[in-house]
Chain A
Amino acid sequence: MDLTMLAAVVLPSSANRLISLAPADLLIIIVYFLMVLGIGVYLKSYANTSNDFFMAGREMTAWVAGLSFLSANLGALELMGWAASTYQYGILAAHFYWIAAFPSMVFLALVMMPFYYISKTHSVPGYLRLRYSEATRGLSGISFACMTVMMSGINMYAMAIVMKVVLGWNIHFSIWVSSITVAVYVTLGGLFSAIFNEVLQFFLIWLGVLVVPILGMIEAGGWSGLVSKIHERVHSDEYVHLWKDLGSFSGNPMGVHWTGVVFGLGGAIACGYWTTDFLVVQRAMSAKDLRSAQLAPIIASYFKMLVPLIVILPGLLGLAVLPFRLVPEGMAGPGMHTYNEVLPLMLARYCGPGLLGLGVTALIAGFMSGMAGNVSAFATVWTYDIYQPYIRKKESDAHYVKVGRWCTILGVLLSIGTAYFVTQFKSIMDYMQALVSFFIAPLFGTVITGMMWRRATPKGGFWGLLAGTGSSIAMFTLVKMRPSYLAFFALSPEAKDMAENLYRALWSLLICVLVTVVVSLLTTPKPAAELTGLVYGRTAIPSEKQYPIYQRPVFWACGVAILFALLQWMFW
């Protein structure tokens, strides 16, 4: 049976699609699936202890940990979503790659990673147990486990929708094939498999999508040609400036003010995500030593700075060169395309047979990697932070590895359930984005206060986290019930949804820190001896003097700071 016939059998709904695949494209996709499964089978014999299965043996080099750290966040949902946002809002979307990455990733590397690594904890909730109490760990562990499974399901559902729209694939076919593949390779190889496939995905995404900015810039006539074409289309230069129009809420397409971008996005949301979301932190913690664990986020930050080349630039190019206008989701009539389709449309515009298969494989790899990252983090947190302390305390190492493998399968099944649940309630995807902001920004407040302030007490940590999360949910609910409250929380009646997200995260972080401080001052702190290796002033950070300057994390952090400043100046 040749590949075209195979496609006709397994892909029944291929009549309405954006892209038609040639046999060479299908061959590339099939070989990708075989490769990831093969990697899982190969790595099974190396993932026999809990340290191997959950922490990849803590033997990853800085490069592998760094690329995996970045790739865990570089899913196809992210690529297509931000390309779509760029088409809608212009280059302002690049703030989510620049100010939302550099300061927080460097902060994780230089300030927070030593505490995570030296404490030898297996997870972020595990750190909270050591620093605060069992209750804080329980609260954080359960909310994180729920969040990862739900995010994984949404990722899966989004992939199925994209495959249906772009390739005409059946939704159930996409969900089950990708889920079974992820379940097999993560169950076999644990975090080793997840990390290997994330690094593989990094290469596929770059090599698969890079053709779009290269040929797009040739077609548009370079940057100046691109700017003038966009100006002809939208009669405004707001779409090509990063900071110039952020002096007021009404002066830019996103409806945000620079204070929201700097403090809400660069401070609360980015720091919360990059420093306390265990999905990404787990990758850096798998490094072979502290210096590698610190270098991992810094290496990732360089590549994160470059990601706009394959995400933001295709969005801008779509605005400039596509011969038709894209429309928002829900407004597309027959023959029309939505913002979310801009990246596949640009791939189809420039890629012939073979290259198109590589581009589609890059998107599939991104989706599966995102799912694998969530599932492997779920298995770790469930086993170490819920099962081991609350269900079966003193079992053998082999028992916990077995539980981890079953948890992976359970995580995938729960994700499939969530994916089908989301098909019933489509608006829940918006709520899920909000769910991330409920838990992540306050968690950063709890962790950073605990790391930097010896006086923070177990009760302070618990009530601070609860108050931060509770206030975030309350603000979200109030705005949903009475939209006029948006003007109060986002500081302006002209603020839009994006501004609300940024300010809500900022307020919940501040409330968390405030409550932690007040409750801590009224309650008894932990004895100083119990804080060794967990808190600033009670932790011996290993010296880096034996390394030449160019091998020290701080040297490379200065480099990324210069790159960041240069990019802001170029696109001001």
Chain B
Amino acid sequence: MSRHSHMLPVWFFIGILLTFYGVVILITAIVDFSKPTTVVLANYHPGIWGGLILLSVGAFYTIWFWPGLRKRR
């Protein structure tokens, strides 16, 4: 077995970072939900959707490539 087989995969790091970004963006969007803004098409609330997408993608990668779970699979 290669000594690199114990290395955490890049996907795990991506998962952690995107999950964190998802949480920050989602919280920011919820806090600013009813504040006036100069951003165009703000009525579509891209921060909410963007935050949810980042959180979903990030959570998927984090859980799927979580070190212990990955080995068991």
Q: Which A residues lie at the B interface, using CB under 8 A? A: 22, 24, 27-28, 31-32, 35, 39, 42-43, 46, 52, 57, 59, 64, 195-196, 199-200, 203, 207, 211, 214-215, 218-219, 349-355, 358
User: Which residues of chain B are near A351, meaning CB under 8 Å?
Assistant: 39, 46
CB pair A27 B24 closer than 8 Å: yes
Between A and B, 8 residue pairs with Cβ closer than 8 Å are A24-B25, A57-B2, A207-B18, A219-B40, A352-B32, A352-B39, A352-B46, A355-B25
CB pair B20 A31 closer than 8 Å: yes
CA of A494 to CA of B40, assembled, Å: 41
Q: Contacts A219-B41, A350-B39: A355 and B46 contacting too (C-beta < 8 A)?
A: yes
CB pair B10 A200 closer than 8 Å: yes
CB pair B50 A196 closer than 8 Å: no
CA of A354 to CA of B20, assembled, Å: 11
User: Which residues of chain A are near B40, meaning CB under 8 Å?
Assistant: 215, 219, 349-350
CB pair A32 B32 closer than 8 Å: no
Name the interface residues of B14-73: CB closer than 8 Å to any CB of A.
14, 16-18, 20-21, 24-25, 27-29, 32, 37, 39-42, 44, 46-47, 50-51, 53-54, 57
CB pair A196 B13 closer than 8 Å: yes
On chain B, the number of residues with a Cβ less than 8 Å from chain A's Cβ atoms is: 32
CB pair A207 B57 closer than 8 Å: yes
Q: Known contacts A199-B14, A354-B28; can you find 20 more A-B pairs with CB under 8 A?
A: A24-B25, A28-B24, A28-B25, A31-B21, A35-B13, A39-B13, A42-B8, A46-B4, A46-B7, A52-B4, A64-B10, A207-B50, A211-B46, A215-B40, A219-B41, A349-B39, A350-B46, A351-B46, A352-B29, A354-B50
CB pair A196 B53 closer than 8 Å: no
Q: Which B residues lie at the A interface, using CB under 8 A? A: 2-4, 7-8, 10, 13-14, 16-18, 20-21, 24-25, 27-29, 32, 37, 39-42, 44, 46-47, 50-51, 53-54, 57
User: Which residues of chain B are near A32, meaning CB under 8 Å?
Assistant: 17
User: Which residues of chain A are near B18, meaning CB under 8 Å?
Assistant: 203, 207
User: Which residues of chain B are near A42, meaning CB under 8 Å?
Assistant: 8
CB pair A215 B41 closer than 8 Å: yes
CA of A167 to CA of B11, assembled, Å: 30
CA of A351 to CA of B51, assembled, Å: 12
Q: Which residue of B lies closest to A361 (CB)?
A: B21
Most buried by A among B2, B40, B54: B40
CB pair B17 A358 closer than 8 Å: no
CA of A251 to CA of B54, assembled, Å: 44
CB pair B47 A353 closer than 8 Å: yes
CB pair B13 A22 closer than 8 Å: no
CA of A219 to CA of B39, assembled, Å: 12
CA of A553 to CA of B41, assembled, Å: 43
CB pair A353 B28 closer than 8 Å: yes
Closest 7 CB pairs of A and B: A354-B25, A354-B28, A24-B28, A196-B10, A199-B10, A352-B39, A215-B41
Partner of B37, one of A46, A200, A214, A352: A352
CB pair B46 A200 closer than 8 Å: no
User: Which residues of chain A are near B8, meaning CB under 8 Å?
Assistant: 42
CB pair A358 B25 closer than 8 Å: yes
Partner of A59, one of B4, B29, B39: B4
Q: Which residue of B lies closest to A34 (CB)?
A: B17
User: Which residues of chain A are near B57, meaning CB under 8 Å?
Assistant: 203, 207
Q: Contacts A200-B13, A352-B29: A24 and B46 contacting too (C-beta < 8 A)?
A: no
Most buried by B among A195, A203, A214, A219: A203
Partner of A57, one of B4, B37, B41, B53: B4
CB pair A354 B47 closer than 8 Å: yes
CA of A211 to CA of B16, assembled, Å: 21
User: Which residues of chain B are near A219, meaning CB under 8 Å?
Assistant: 40-41
Q: Which residue of B lies closest to A203 (CB)?
A: B14
Q: Contacts A207-B54, A211-B50, A218-B41: A22 and B2 contacting too (C-beta < 8 A)?
A: no
Q: How far is the CB of B38 from chain A (nearest CB, A)?
A: 9
CB pair A354 B51 closer than 8 Å: yes
Q: Which residue of B lies closest to A39 (CB)?
A: B13
Q: Which residue of A lies closest to B50 (CB)?
A: A355
CA of A259 to CA of B42, assembled, Å: 45
CA of A24 to CA of B39, assembled, Å: 16
User: Which residues of chain A are near B10, meaning CB under 8 Å?
Assistant: 64, 195-196, 199-200
CA of A196 to CA of B40, assembled, Å: 35
CB pair B24 A354 closer than 8 Å: yes
Q: How far is the CB of B29 from chain A (nearest CB, A)?
A: 6
User: Which residues of chain A are near B16, meaning CB under 8 Å?
Assistant: 35
CA of A27 to CA of B20, assembled, Å: 10
CB pair B41 A350 closer than 8 Å: yes
CB pair B28 A200 closer than 8 Å: no
CA of A203 to CA of B62, assembled, Å: 14
CA of A529 to CA of B14, assembled, Å: 47
CA of A22 to CA of B18, assembled, Å: 19
Q: Which residue of B lies closest to A195 (CB)?
A: B10
Q: How far is the CB of B28 from chain A (nearest CB, A)?
A: 4
CB pair B17 A353 closer than 8 Å: no
User: Which residues of chain A are near B47, meaning CB under 8 Å?
Assistant: 352-355
Most buried by B among A22, A219, A351: A351
